[in-house]
Structure 1
Amino acid sequence: MKKMAKFISIVLIMAISISVAACSKSDVSDKVQNNKLQMIKDKGKLVVGTSPAYPPFEFVIGKGGKSEVVGADIDLSKKIAEKLGVELEISTMDFDTIIPSLNSGKIDIAVTGMTPTEERKKSVDFSDIYFEGVNSVVVNESFKGDIKNESDLKNLKIGVQKGSTQEIYAKEILKAEKVKSLNTVLDLVMDMKNGNLDAVIMSDIVAKINKKQTSGIKIIENIELKGDQSSETAAVALKKGDNEELLKEINSVIKELKDSGEYDKILNKNIDTASKVH
């Protein structure tokens, strides 16, 4: 009986030991799986998602007979990749597919002029803010209406980029009756020039660039847009929940660029480049 009891005890101890070891391995595996920073370093590449139709943040130029994606967000992405000691791969897509691509693991991070709204924070994590601006209203030079306030604006046929904070503002804050959403700002401007829209809401920096690039349009001055989505900020987006160490690295890059004034130089350089692209 004593021998049997001793045997049972040994079996139980071995079972517990195996169980603990298995749990330990599982915990280690989970930690490795959830350490996005280490995964990026292991593969030696940072895959960044962006929608290259939003100059000066991301846009396409011709270079050496080929198309190249450039912009302030691309330069920021390069700085992040340098900090991590890995290569940079840019993956282009429509803006409204960015968050699904993050959550599916198709891309590591998104750097695409994305504003960290409360709704988006439910789906993804965000870095510190790297850009702050305001929105503007663009119309054809031939536009005869009088837009002095939001009440005047809400009655017009308004164009906004699909999936943008301008779309949220127009539909949910302004509650405009006629809102048309398209994939790119250029599509919106062309649609407005063709008479299908009265006005397009976009970032003030983007509006100034489009005015330089496109004849026959103007920016409405002295109209104050209000509400949570009436201004524009931008942050890096990451898949929710597995990015603490990666987030620290990204925030350190953003802080360094902003504190040194280098981000302003990056932005101004790309404003100048985008203004010359036709």
Structure 2
Amino acid sequence: MKNMNRREFLGTAGAFAGIMALAGCGSTGGNTASTTTAASSAAASGDMQLLTAGKLTVGTSPDFPPFENLENDEYVGLDMDLAKALADKLGLELELKNLQFDAIVPAVAAGGQVDLGISGITIEPEREEQVDFSDPYYIDDLAVVAMKDNADVTADTYADALNQAGVVIAVQSGTTGESYAQENFPNATTQPYGNATDSFAALQSGQANAVVTNKAVGAKMVADAYTDAQVIKEIATGEEYGIAVNKDNGGLLSAVNDALAELTSDGTVDELTNKYFG
């Protein structure tokens, strides 16, 4: 994956980001009442393909707060609320499937497992070779996180301090954070983990010198769970998050984009932004 700009937030005031083995699944009811929106009309037309009639099956990796997380076995976060709102607009029931992050795009591309991937997925060329993406719904940057008591890694010194042999940088596997660390700290060891929590746990336990992750995730993690760590540097990458759709499912892509446009114009996107980012 290459570091790149991904998409422009849909006109809102702020920045709303083993393939066959499913880690688990959950479901939540959508609004199945008929509506007259463009999105629901597209859904009713039958042009879009769904794994299960009347159901929108979404793959996500719920360990990326504030976008997706599991709390008391409930899927929560901005992306999860967006998925529910999309299902409602399309007049479909929502089913969520728990996948490791780096398995989501391949699962969408392969078909037969999920209809969409919604999990803070950056739109970038390598992924676009495998799947189509919706219009962007959020823009994020990257961040470098280190322990508060690590005086060697600061906003002024991190570029050199982390680019050293023997330094370990923890990242979530398959993310733009991993790509950035590999490209910008080539002398260090970039250590991928299956989820964001494990990468932060490695930092806290001394197995890593820093974490490179998305800015919003880094801020959430150090505020809520890893208070002995701190964001030492925000890196302006302008990453755009989109919804992954199978390349052979143009009808679903069109319906999703219609729904996103409607959710923007009716204020839902702004409400979700304010809910999670104030």
Partner of 1:78: 84
Contact 2:51–2:112 (CA under 8 A) maintained in structure 1: no
Is residue 187 of structure 2 the alignment partner of residue 181 of structure 1? no
Paired with 1:194 and 1:153, the residues of 2 have a C-alpha distance of: 17
Tell me how far 1:237 sits from its aligned partner. 0.3
Partner of 1:128: 135
Tell me how far 1:122 sits from its aligned partner. 0.7
Tell me how far 1:38 sits from its aligned partner. 3.7
Q: Secondary structure at the match of 1:175?
A: coil
- List per-residue Cα deviations over 1:162-221 (Å, max 9, x = no partner): 011111111135435211100111111111111011110111111111111122111104
TM-score of the two chains, using structure 2 as the length reference: 0.75
Contact 1:41–1:85 (CA under 8 A) maintained in structure 2: no
Work out which of the residue numbers 171, 181, 191 in structure 2 matches 1:160: 171
Which letter maps to 1:55? P
Which letter maps to 2:119? T
TM-score of the two chains, using structure 1 as the length reference: 0.75
Which letter maps to 1:83? K
Contact 2:51–2:113 (CA under 8 A) maintained in structure 1: no
Q: Secondary structure at the match of 1:43?
A: coil
Q: Secondary structure at the match of 2:269?
A: helix
Paired with 1:48 and 1:239, the residues of 2 have a C-alpha distance of: 12
Work out which of the residue numbers 49, 52, 55 in structure 1 matches 2:62: 52
Partner of 1:192: 203
Where in structure 1 do 4 or more consecutive aligned residues deviate above 6 Å?
A: none
Partner of 1:138: 145
Tell me how far 1:108 sits from its aligned partner. 0.5
Is residue 50 of structure 2 the alignment partner of residue 43 of structure 1? no
Identity of aligned residues (%): 32
Count of residues in correspondence between the two structures: 228
Which letter maps to 1:248? S
Q: Secondary structure at the match of 2:106?
A: helix
Which letter maps to 1:57? F
Partner of 1:150: 159
More contact order relative to length (CA 8 Å, sep ≥ 6): 2
Paired with 1:87 and 1:78, the residues of 2 have a C-alpha distance of: 9
- Choose 1 or 2 for highest CA Rg: 1
Which letter maps to 2:195? T
Structure 1 unmatched runs, 5+: 1-34, 273-278
Higher helix share: 1
Tell me how far 1:99 sits from its aligned partner. 1.9
Distance 1:194 1:153, change over 3 A: same
Is residue 124 of structure 2 the alignment partner of residue 117 of structure 1? yes
How much is the aligned-residue C-alpha RMSD, in angstroms? Answer: 2.3
Contact 1:41–1:84 (CA under 8 A) maintained in structure 2: no
- List per-residue Cα deviations over 1:42-92 (Å, max 9, x = no partner): 711010000000011110111xxxx11111111111122112211110011
Paired with 1:42 and 1:122, the residues of 2 have a C-alpha distance of: 26
Contact 2:61–2:101 (CA under 8 A) maintained in structure 1: yes
Which letter maps to 2:77? G
Tell me how far 1:40 sits from its aligned partner. 2.6
Paired with 1:174 and 1:199, the residues of 2 have a C-alpha distance of: 11
Which letter maps to 2:230? K
Structure 2 unmatched runs, 5+: 1-44
Q: Secondary structure at the match of 1:91?
A: strand
Which letter maps to 2:112? G
Tell me how far 1:154 sits from its aligned partner. 2.7
Q: Secondary structure at the match of 1:254?
A: helix
Contact 2:78–2:273 (CA under 8 A) maintained in structure 1: yes
Paired with 1:180 and 1:36, the residues of 2 have a C-alpha distance of: 45
Distance 1:207 1:41, change over 3 A: closer
Tell me how far 1:116 sits from its aligned partner. 1.1
1:229-268 aligned at under 5 Å gives the runs: 230-240=237-247, 242-268=248-274
Tell me how far 1:41 sits from its aligned partner. 9.2
Partner of 2:3: none
Distance 1:85 1:262, change over 3 A: closer
Tell me how far 1:258 sits from its aligned partner. 3.4
